Amino acid sequence: MTAYLRQARVALILLALLTVILGGIYPVAVFALGQGIAPAQANGSVVKADGAPAASSLIAQQVPEKDSRFFFPRPSAVKWDPASSGASNLGPSDPALASGVAKTRAAVAAREGVPESAVPEDAVSASASGLDPDISPAYAALQAPRVAKAARLSLADVQQLIREATTTGVESALGQESVNTTTLNLAIGARLGGSSGTGR
């Protein structure tokens, strides 16, 4: 019985010690480290408009189909619902996928006034999360003339905003460059007087 009590005491001490370390000290240390090294990312990569939180740069924002003043992100397989983030799970040989891609390609070509052959792949395919805000520079360039005309901005101004929303440095070195439509549309909205034009 004495040995049993001794083992129980050791177990309780260890439980209390690990609770303090793993339940208190470790989370606080990780939180402090995140705030010190990368506060923006640690707090959800929130971007602001007029000083107030407007969106997360990690999540695409839905643009109404009839609003030509903003850049469209990639298609969403989850209908812009962050609670059900995911892909369509359709295989490359699935007729439904081919049909959907063909329909989207035709719609994008008509919207941008270009031949279907000029439509980039990311304009017709959803990302793995269904909420990726990044598009290729080619897709951003394709949309630029429409946005400039609808927003009554010069094409040069819109192209400059695209450059400012394009990943650079380490991010682009690890993969191909991409344009964040969430931050880009917020910048367009600021030029239009504060209207972001996005929403789910």
- Across 35-159, the runs of DSSP E, i.e. the strands, are 46-49, 52-56, 134-135
Q: Which residue has the higher pLDDT, 98 or 152?
A: 152
Whole-number CA gyration radius for the chain = 23
What is the value of pTM for the model shown?
A: 0.74
Q: Which residue has the higher pLDDT, 81 or 182?
A: 182
Sign of CA dihedral 35, 41, 43, 49: positive
Residue 111 pLDDT more than 90? yes
Lowest average pLDDT, out of 25-34, 83-92, 133-142, goes to: 83-92
Q: What is the pLDDT of residues 174-195, one digit of tens each?
A: 778 899 999 999 999 998 886 5
d(CA 47, CA 151): 22
The pLDDT value recorded for residue 43 is 63
Q: Which residue has the higher pLDDT, 29 or 50?
A: 29
pLDDT band at 31 (very low <50, low <70, confident <90, very high): confident
Q: Which helix (H) or strand (E) holds 97?
A: helix 95-112
Lowest average pLDDT, out of 8-17, 53-62, 174-183, goes to: 53-62
Residue 171 pLDDT more than 60? no
Q: Provide the 10 A C-beta neighbour count for residue 139.
A: 25
d(CA 183, CA 161): 9
Q: Which residue has the higher pLDDT, 95 or 138?
A: 138
Q: What is the pLDDT of residues 116-146, one digit of tens each?
A: 999 999 999 888 787 889 999 999 999 999 9
pLDDT band at 8 (very low <50, low <70, confident <90, very high): confident
